[in-house]
A and B are shown apart, each in its own frame.
Chain A
Amino acid sequence: MTVDEVLEVVRASAAKVLDVDASVLTLDGTLSDLGANSVDRADIVTQSMLELDVKVPVRALKGVSNVRSLVGVLHSHLT
């Protein structure tokens, strides 16, 4: 799976959680740009992991600050 495909999954998860059009979300953007609060962000990350069927250790998410770093961490844990 490519980074772009992982980004698509994150977009779809954000759209599901926030009920918004998430197609505007880019690698340089943040989930907060879409209006996500801290609980929403946790929800979007959990949802993305579920869709990708990947288990990311929580400590690996430390330092995730934007969509690029989130997608990077998710992508690096795909088998």
Chain B
Amino acid sequence: MTAAPVGIEALNVYPGVARISVEEIFAGRGLDPGRLTNLMMTEKSVGLPCEDPVTNAVNAGYPLVSALSPADRGCIELLVTSTESGVDFSKSVASYVHEYLGLSRRCRMVEVKQACYGATAALQLAAGYLASGAFSGGKVLIIATDVSLVDHESGYTEPAMGFGAAAVLLSTCPRVLTLDLGAVGMYSYETMDSARPAPTFDVAEADRSLFTYLDCLENSFRGYADRVDGADFGQTFDYLAFHTPFAGLVRAAHRKMMRDHAKGAAVEADFERRVGPALRYPSRIGNLCSGSVYSSLASLIDHADVDGGARVGLYSYGSGCASEFFSGVVDADSRQALRGMRISERLDHRVPLRFEEYTEVLGTSLSCLVPERDRTVDSEPYLPLYARAGGRQDLLLWTGTKDYHRTYEWITPTGGTDDS
């Protein structure tokens, strides 16, 4: 019996509506410009006060869901949100997302958390669910959504942290990426490299995190190689898409793996060819937490020559720490399927902020995870900014809380709002 293929049917990245150049943050914060090169980033997405983990998730998932026929939409029988930006200890982000995406009441929903690895854990569990064959025609929607809590106290982490979400629709009709089922390697252990102990701040020990990222890459790949006969880091994968805290770390990670597993190879040329295409979006969005590896995958498909079919090695890492090396296959259909999401175009359409505008929105958006019984978030001051961002889809805005219940409204491309 040949098992049905399982993988990503559709993929989208929501990169927010605003951005700032990394150079501008370095200048504004007085950071050492010599370290810009290590970061290998040009700009990052910036969240607005009327955006939160729910709006990010819905805005990433909406184009995928609205492209489905009503019958196919009804086939989504599992919704998973992956986030380290929960809005309640009990009520999941998924419950709001389920409502605003209009999903079936016959759909399971749940939220998962394992720092930047959460979405991949969900993807692999869902892949097993779909591969079982017990749920014919079923689809699973996984949305990795986060908000970053960085400010002037975050040092060099501030320019690297992005904003947005990635939505992945999994099924047995994988147009975007066909998973190599069972071809996985995991490596996890407890460590305190970074964490979010409260809704207002992160703690991070950068050196420890860099070390665990590299340690986990080496060891998760070894786990992969133990399961996959003949797996070779230098030869097996036509392209590589990694979790990208900042592109400079991915460059070092690739250098390390080539040194250990592909002695004598031309490292720099290999990096440009196999890794470069996956870094284009992350270098413009910043770290999307558990959505990061999927923004890398989208970047790869949009920028690499995949038409003849290509195997991609993927590395997902989450602080704390858990990691996985896995793989899949992409082809011309992947490019076709992703094109409709117009990710590159939407990155261009984000409104560039000056440093003063950036610090102003930062001040008000850092509290979006703090529970408050009643709160009004006035989106009015930001509507001109939405109007300046061209080519928009309908977007969900956060309007506040009423008796702890979060409230939202839709904004249409013409600038009008629609209370929901």
Contact = CB atoms under 8 A, between A and B. Distances in A.
A42 B206 CA distance: 10
> Which size bracket describes the interface of B in this complex?
20 to 34
B256 A43 contact: yes
A32 B213 CA distance: 20
Contact of B208 (A39, A46, A58): A58
Given A47-B256, A50-B260, A61-B208, A39 B193 contact: no
Interface string A45-79: 11101100000011101100000000000000000
The 7 A-B residue pairs with the shortest CB-CB distance in the complex, in nearest-first order: A42-B210, A42-B211, A39-B252, A46-B214, A58-B191, A37-B38, A43-B256
A61 B191 contact: no
Interface string B255-270: 1100110000000000
B252 A16 contact: no
Interface string B193-222: 100000000000011101111110010000
B210 A38 contact: yes
B67 interface: no
Contacts of B256: 17, 43, 46-47
Contacts of B252: 39-40, 42-43
Contacts of A58: 191, 193, 208, 211-212, 215
A62 B252 CA distance: 21
Contacts of B214: 42-43, 46
Nearest to A57: B191
Contact of A61 (B211, B213, B249): B211
A43 B191 contact: no
Nearest to B205: A62
B248 A39 contact: yes
Nearest to B216: A46
Contact of A46 (B35, B191, B211): B211
B192 interface: yes
A19 to B, nearest CB: 10
A59 B192 contact: yes
A34 B260 CA distance: 21
Contacts of B193: 58
Contacts of A40: 252
A59 B249 contact: no
Given A16-B259, A47-B256, A58-B212, A42 B191 contact: no
